[in-house]
Structure 1
Amino acid sequence: MQKAKVRKVSTDTLTSNLPEERREQLCASLGNVELTLLYKASVHGYQASAFHQRCDRQGPTLLVAYNRSGYIFGGYTSVDYAQSGREITDEEAFLFSFKSGASSYIKINSGYNARYDDAAWPNFGQQLYFCHNNQPVVYHQGGNALNINTSSMYGNDTQLTECEVYKVEQAPEDSVEEKPWRNVLWTPERRAELMGLIQNHKPLMKSVSRVRILMIGPVGAGKSSFFNSINSIFTGHVTTKAVSGSAGTSLTVQFRIYPVNDGREGKPLPFVLCDTMGLEEQSGAGLDIEDISSILQGHIPDRYKFNPMAPFQPDEQKASKPASLQEKIHCVVYVIDATKISLMSDKLQEKLASIRRKVNSLGIAQIVLMTKVDEACPLVEENLQSLYVSSYIKSKVQEVSSRLGVPVSCVLPVKNYSQELELELNCDVLLLTALQQMLRFADDYFDDIRPVEGNTK
């Protein structure tokens, strides 16, 4: 797999409007390429003749449009514009759209023409027309080549504020980085080995029968989905025991302690996953930081219903008696959506920093689970084994590391089961690798406190 490379273009007359985050994401979908800005409508005019003068016979091109509603959308074609008057077949053509952290890619349906090559402005699938009739608008007339939802594609806002066309060129071979930045064995044998290590794991402390792993993260990041995914692997088929989804507010309203069995009728595995209400940036909403402190110290019972306006208050008798090590949290996992890292608000980042400081003060092991990697990078969506040769995913791992203040080695990219009906080897390897690291980190915590526990006996 190839590393994307971008040529930044900025001259007195041509300055790209494409944000670096989106530039990198588009390049990740195209492989080892450089982008050169050929045409900018606000500079050269919205006339089709101006577009063809600068963009004809330039090879593969990327059209990027912008509207007043904040959508960045457009299309890629690998075939020259030439005003040939022919219907063009292009299996590489696709549409894309970005808005508020979300992204989507639409491929041309097999058997349909990718576009019509005439003297007018570009169209894709003879359905979506840009700068229609030489005006700063986008026009959709329906059709079968592309499955276009105009609401999600551009918010039904047809007025364009800018339109740009980039030449897409292969970068020099010496810029290709084919060596993975992490080594993973994507084999059934490795999957079986990881399952065996987890099934046979024994916590370092004899007083602890099962490692307690606490999942913390923003609403919709995938905490509950991670439990469902791990449970699916050991059950042998995809399950949805924990409520999960993508609602704007947390679907988890209780503190839940989820054991996982080794098969439907098997014995409990040596860990439990603790699910919490999602974090929200505004005060009085989502999980309260004081509740997290009570969870860490083992005071909050299973199925306790969170109240964002009033943190948990243990009764006096329990408050005066420290919880046992078995009841406390041994590893904290921050669950972060890879598609929304750059859009994380300062308030949410400060909440996470406050939690980190509390966890640090207790010496509890910490790790970051970066979810939805397939949605963040089209190459990874096409083949999950591309994960550790994706320069875009590597940049996201580094960004998470910087924002949360954790080492890069503690950031683990995964793909949860979400729409699949059957288990997949590559998903399982990533998920089991992450879980194995959590158990290792918990043992590091036990190793650190073991002399302390020994002195208290």
Structure 2
Amino acid sequence: TVNHVKTVTVPRSWTQDLSFSGLYLIFSFVLNEPDRPYVETFKLETENVKHIRILLYGPVGAGKSSFISSVRSILRGKMSNLALSNYVTHKVNKGKESIYPFVFIDFMGLNEDSDKGVRLDDVRMAMEGHVKEDYVFNPVAPLNKDSPFYNPSPSPEQKVHVLVCAYSANVLSMNNSVLQKMKAIREAASSLGIPQLGILTHVDEACPETGKDLKNVYKSKHIKKKMQDFSAALGIPLNCILPVKSYSEEIQLNEKVDALILSALRMMLDFGDEFIEYKL
């Protein structure tokens, strides 16, 4: 059953131009058989890596921290509001004595000004595992190899295994300066062989019908166009871009929000697992 769910949670049908009504039925199926069991029982079989390291990047306001908080909320069964600071690894507790076999890392959003936000060479060093915990990114100067926050010999566990680009569906158009930075990060990841995917955030705000009922995300021509534009701008395949809505004003969990978040998380785990098995 779990394998069957895996084949339908990713909206590959958009690349095949199938009817929106078919996508609606797919999402209805996902609600009945969610990806939660897969995520909750997921294990890495390798000895040298215990946690898939997922790096999120994107423009300011793209919703990276909200996505991480939403994953924590869903898997812990209660609302979580994660305060992000510096360069830290965000773990998700699994009960009282263990954590899930994946972690998130995040940094400040990409800014159109060259003297603001994280530097591209720092991002590459982070992907290679050279940046230690609690490092404060300096927009003016990159991490120096003489710094105590520089890791000269990163282990496979400390390297990034999946790169995720977050972009808001509620933004009219991509700023060209930010877009060029996003492309540069993507190219750096590609040179390292790191698998990549995208999450289109704030879909409920971008489309009124989707805001009323999240199942309409797979019927919305506006959301489909946003995903196509996202794919064309960055070169990420359309079937590797997933629409999500993170928790923001809610005080209780919602199965439709959960379904979209878990579908995206499952793809991240699958991509990271494959990278660790065959590339590290």
**Structures share fold, TM-score greater than 0.5:** yes
Q: CA deviation at 1:317?
A: 9.6
Partners of 1:242 and 1:273 lie apart in 2 by 13
What residue in structure 2 maps to residue 313 of structure 1? Answer: 144
1:306 aligned counterpart, secondary structure: coil
The alignment status of 1:284 with 2:97, answered yes or no, reads no
- Give the corresponding residue for 2:243: 413
TM-score (normalised: structure 1): 0.54
Distance 2:29 2:145 in 1: 47
Which secondary structure does the structure 1 equivalent of 2:140 belong to?
A: coil
DSSP-derived class of the 2:33 partner = helix
- Alignment length (residue pairs): 262
The answer as to 2:33 corresponding to 1:190 is yes
What is aligned with 1:367? 197
**In structure 1, distance between residues paired with 2:77 and 2:20:** 37
Letter in 2 for 1:328: K
Corresponding residue for residue 34 of structure 1: none
The one of 42, 47, 51 aligned to 1:201: 42
Aligned to 2:161: 330
Whichever residue aligns with residue 37 of structure 2, its letter is: G
Measure the CA separation in 2 of the matches of 1:400 and 1:282: 21
Whole-angstrom distance in 1 between the partners of 2:126 and 2:20: 44
Is it true that 1:261 corresponds to 2:93 in the alignment? yes
Shift of 1:178: 2.6
Partner of 2:83: 242
Specify whether residues 320 and 177 from structure 1 end up closer, same or farther in structure 2 by C-alpha distance, changes over 3 A only: closer
Please say which structure displays the higher CA radius of gyration.
1
Q: Percent identity?
A: 35
Cα deviation, residue 179, structure 1: 2.5
User: Larger relative CO (CA 8 A, sep 6+): 1 or 2?
Assistant: 2
1:342-386 deviation per Cα after TM superposition (whole angstroms, max 9, x unaligned)? 421111111111111100000001010110000000010000011
Aligned residues: CA RMSD: 2.1
In the other structure, the counterpart of 2:220 is 390
Matched, 1:179 2:10: no
Q: Are 2:133 and 2:149, in contact at CA under 8 Å, matched by a contact in 1?
A: no
Aligned to 1:230: 71
- Which digits, 9 at most, give the CA deviation of each residue in 1:397-418, with x for residues without a partner? 1110001111001101000001
Q: What letter corresponds to residue 178 of structure 1 in structure 2?
A: S
Aligned 1:50-69 pairs, distance under 5 A: none
Alpha-carbon distance in 2 for matches of 1:423, 1:256: 26
Q: Distance in 1 between matches of 2:57 and 2:161?
A: 13
What is the deviation of 1:318? 8.9
Q: Residue 189 of structure 1: CA displacement? A: 4.8
Tell whether the 8 Å contact from 1:198 to 1:270 is kept in structure 2 after alignment: no
Q: Structure 1's 415 and 266: CA in aligned 2 closer, same or farther, altered over 3 A?
A: farther
Are 1:296 and 1:328, in contact at CA under 8 Å, matched by a contact in 2?
yes
2:90–2:104 contact (8 Å) kept in structure 1: yes
Q: 1:386 to 1:329 in 2, by over 3 A?
A: same
CA-to-aligned-CA distance 1:308-345 (integer Å, 9 cap, x gap): 111112338997943110000000000101111x4211
Distance in 2 between the 1:371 and 1:321 partners? 35
Query: Is the Cα–Cα contact under 8 Å of residues 227 and 242 in structure 1 kept in the other structure?
Result: no
Q: Is the 8 A contact 2:89 2:105 kept in 1?
A: yes
Q: What's 1:52 paired with? A: none
Query: What pairs up with 1:105-120 in 2 under 5 angstroms?
Result: none
Judging changes above 3 Å, is the alpha-carbon distance between structure 1 residues 269 and 320 closer, same or farther for their aligned structure 2 residues? closer
**Which segment drifts farther, 304-313 or 429-438?**
304-313
Aligned residue for 1:261, secondary structure, equals strand
Residue type matched to 1:414 in 2?
V
Counterparts in 2 of 1:402 and 1:417: CA distance versus 1, 3 Å: same
Alignment of 1:115-194 (within 5 A): 177-180=20-23, 183-185=26-28, 189-191=32-34, 194=35
Q: Give the conservation status (yes or no) of the 8 Å contact 1:217–1:278.
A: yes
1:260-288 Cα offsets, whole Å, 9 max, x none, are: 0124x252001001011110011010111
- 1:168 maps to none
Structure number having the greater helix percentage: 2
Deviation at 1:295? 0.6
Alignment equivalent of 1:296, drawn from 127, 139, 144: 127
Deviation at 1:389, TM superposition (A): 1.3
What CA distance in whole angstroms lies between the structure 2 residues aligned with 1:209 and 1:416?
27
Mark the runs of 5 or more structure 1 residues left unpaired by the alignment. 1-175, 244-251, 451-457
Which residue type is aligned with residue 74 of structure 2?
A: I
Aligned to 1:113: none
Please point out which of 412, 424, 437 is paired with 2:254: 424
Q: Secondary structure at the match of 1:237?
A: coil
TM-score normalised by the chain length of structure 2: 0.87
Report the equivalent of 2:10. none
**Whole-Å separation in 2 of the counterparts to 1:209 and 1:316:** 27
SS of match in other structure, 1:279? coil
What is the CA deviation profile of residues 218-240 of structure 1, one whole-angstrom value per residue up to 9, with x for unaligned ones? 11111111111001011211110
Q: In 1, Cα distance between the equivalents of 2:231 and 2:125?
A: 26
Q: CA deviation at 1:241?
A: 2.2
Whether 1:339 and 2:179 are equivalent positions in the alignment is: no
> For residues 237 and 269 of structure 2, what CA distance do their matches in structure 1 show?
17
